[in-house]
Amino acid sequence: MIVQDSALFRQQCFVAGRWISSDGRVDVIDPSTQQPFGSVPILSDEAVQSAIQAADAAFPSWKGLTAKERAFLLKRWHDLILDHRRELAGIMSREQGKPIAEAEREVLSCASYVEWYAEEAKRVYGDTIPMGQRGKRIIVLKEPVGVCAAITPWNFPLSTITRKAAPALAAGCTVIIKPSSYTPFSALALAVLAEKAGFPAGVINVVTGEGDRIGHILAKSKRVRKISFTGSTEVGRKLMRDCGESLTKLSLELGGHAPFIVFADADLDLAVTEAMTSKFRNSGQTCVCANRFLIQDTIYDEFASRFIKEVKNTLVVGPGNCTGCNQGPLIDEKAVVKIESQIEDALKKGAKLAIGGKRVPGRGFFFEPTVLLEVTCGMRIAREETFGPVAPLFRFSNEDEALKIANDSDYGLAAYFFTRDLRRTWKIAENLECGMIGVNTGVLSSEAAPFGGKKDSGMGREGSKYGMDEFLEIKYMCLGDLD
């Protein structure tokens, strides 16, 4: 498919039900070729304000629809996303670099959030609470918070959007989506389908341009009542400072540095298979990626040799549209330089390179899948989020040491461990400092599960019934004179 020929490929923003442009534009680069293949508007401050105004104007009538009416439109959007699965995957793969098969799986995941919240829209229940005084009753109502902004990253250009927009819309909020400047076309394609689904003008808006400036405008606005952000911890902090002044509600899905612990009693075949998926999905560019492999001493060599063999035999680096390739490029030159310097630092401090370790020569931001052995806590890779196809293997001797290393991180998003011992399962799960745990699995994202972290990995949850709460206010009503 030629991406530019797709009716879903739009190089304009979607504001107040209209497709708008601007004089300033920014190129979007294909990370496999380092060549631009399209551009999007750098919206002016006034245009961003007009998106806020449109969302604000559309809010009362959108909120006024019945949950069933909102669910009906969400369901139509869901069906259209699935109908256009291949086109969406093609656009995403071109701008982000991931293999087409992975991009198609992300389209399914993106659609699953829309379907889930179309269903949840009808289950926003309130409460009645027994009152301690005679003649009075307590009733708890749930209401949409108002205009919401969804600021999203490049690594999952579609699913990070619907994880926010679908619950917001289901709750009765209107949304302004600000996608990453690396991957705006996926977001704009979703807007084409939302328009086709029949959402009223202003209910869904997509704005593009510099994140810093637009983020600031959204955070300062009195009309935007909630910002849901997914991205780096550094930008999350900035946004929180901005929202601190305006007292805008904020949820933050930030970086991660997941430990992947393999105990000696684990099923090693399973641990190796799951390690491969957890580490190398999206070429290691996921927030829940296994970033620190903690392997018990007695099985360290066996695990390492099986894992290295899998890396060697199964990973093929190449562009997203190359048949048989399963490792796409990194997003940009900065990402390549970051992992080069982490590897250099680790080798200087005593780590051993088992496989990979270098960028792939030629065009594109490709990097060899890499395994480092004998990694220790004093190395930079033990502290910094990697965001690339590098697997560092640490050693530990017992449960307490594994926990100590695993928790020795500012991040607290996901963690994984492998064991067949029930007592150990509870001990480790209860003592890991993170928001999500995979036990004997390396994949844990699902629309039905609460996704999110603690510590520097953020606050709030996405997906599941909990994800809806982020877009709802509680209003309590006290009825008196009932004697």
Q: Which of residues 211, 284, 356, 467 is near ligand NAP by CB under 6 A?
A: 211
Q: Which of 287, 289, 325, 434 is catalytic?
A: 287
Output 124 or 217, the one with its CB closest to ligand NAP: 217
Distance in angstroms (rounded) separating the CA atoms of residues 20 and 307: 50
Q: Which of residues 97, 144, 202, 256 is near ligand NAP by CB under 6 A?
A: 256
- Sheet containing 18-20: order of strands: 18-20, 13-15, 204-206, 174-178, 147-151, 224-230, 249-253, 458-459
Tell me the number of residues near ligand NAP by CB under 6 A: 30
241-244-247 Cα angle (round to 5):
150
Q: Do strands 174-178 and 204-206 pair parallel, antiparallel, or not at all (unpaired)?
A: parallel
At closest approach, how far in Å is the CB of 209 from ligand NAP?
Answer: 7
At closest approach, how far in Å is the CB of 38 from ligand NAP?
Answer: 15
Output 385 or 447, the one with its CB closest to ligand NAP: 385
Q: Which of residues 29, 73, 111, 151 is near ligand NAP by CB under 6 A?
A: 151
Output 230 or 248, the one with its CB closest to ligand NAP: 230
Contact characters 415-454, ligand NAP, x per CB under 6 A: --------------------------------------x-
Token pair for residue 189?
């394609």
At closest approach, how far in Å is the CB of 325 from ligand NAP?
Answer: 23
E-assigned strand segments in 136-268? 137-144, 147-151, 174-178, 204-206, 224-230, 249-253, 258-262
Q: Are 13 and 184 in contact (CB under 8 A)?
A: no
Examine residue 154 and tell whether it contacts ligand NAP (CB under 6 A): yes
At closest approach, how far in Å is the CB of 457 from ligand NAP?
Answer: 6
Reference 152, options 161, 144, 143; nearest CA is 161
Token pair for residue 354?
């088992």
Output 235 or 308, the one with its CB closest to ligand NAP: 235
DSSP state at residue 377:
T
Residues in the chain: 483
Q: Are 286 and 328 in contact (CB under 8 A)?
A: no
Output 153 or 172, the one with its CB closest to ligand NAP: 153
Q: Are 47 and 80 in contact (CB under 8 A)?
A: no
Examine residue 212 and tell whether it contacts ligand NAP (CB under 6 A): yes
Mark whether 173 is an active-site residue.
Answer: no
Q: Which of residues 238, 380, 424, 465 is near ligand NAP by CB under 6 A?
A: 238
Cβ burial, residue 305 (10 Å; 0-12/13-18/19+): exposed
Distance in angstroms (rounded) separating the CA atoms of residues 246 and 271: 47
Q: Are 198 and 76 in contact (CB under 8 A)?
A: yes
At closest approach, how far in Å is the CB of 30 from ligand NAP?
Answer: 16
**Continuous segment of H or E residues that includes residue 45:** helix 45-64
Q: Which of 95, 104, 195, 253 is catalytic?
A: 253
Q: How far is CA 13 from the centre of its chain?
A: 22
Examine residue 230 and tell whether it contacts ligand NAP (CB under 6 A): yes
Output 234 or 400, the one with its CB closest to ligand NAP: 234
Output 62 or 365, the one with its CB closest to ligand NAP: 365
At closest approach, how far in Å is the CB of 142 from ligand NAP?
Answer: 24
At closest approach, how far in Å is the CB of 446 from ligand NAP?
Answer: 13
Q: Do strands 25-30 and 249-253 pair parallel, antiparallel, or not at all (unpaired)?
A: unpaired
At closest approach, how far in Å is the CB of 139 from ligand NAP?
Answer: 35
Residue numbers 382-411 binding ligand NAP by CB under 6 A: 385
Q: Which of residues 38, 146, 172, 215 is near ligand NAP by CB under 6 A?
A: 215
Q: What is the residue-wise DSSP string for 446-474?
A: -TTS-B--EETTEE--BSHHHHHHTTEEE
Residue numbers 271-330 binding ligand NAP by CB under 6 A: 287
Q: Are 284 and 388 in contact (CB under 8 A)?
A: yes
Examine residue 181 and tell whether it contacts ligand NAP (CB under 6 A): yes
- Is 351 in a helix, a strand, or coil? coil
Q: Which of residues 31, 41, 90, 255 is near ligand NAP by CB under 6 A?
A: 255
Examine residue 232 and tell whether it contacts ligand NAP (CB under 6 A): yes
Token pair for residue 315?
């990973």
Mark whether 287 is an active-site residue.
Answer: yes
Tell me which residues touch ligand NAP (CB under 6 A): 151-156, 160, 178-181, 210-212, 215, 230-232, 235, 238-239, 253-256, 287, 385, 413, 453, 458
Could you give the residue numbers annotated as active site?
253, 287
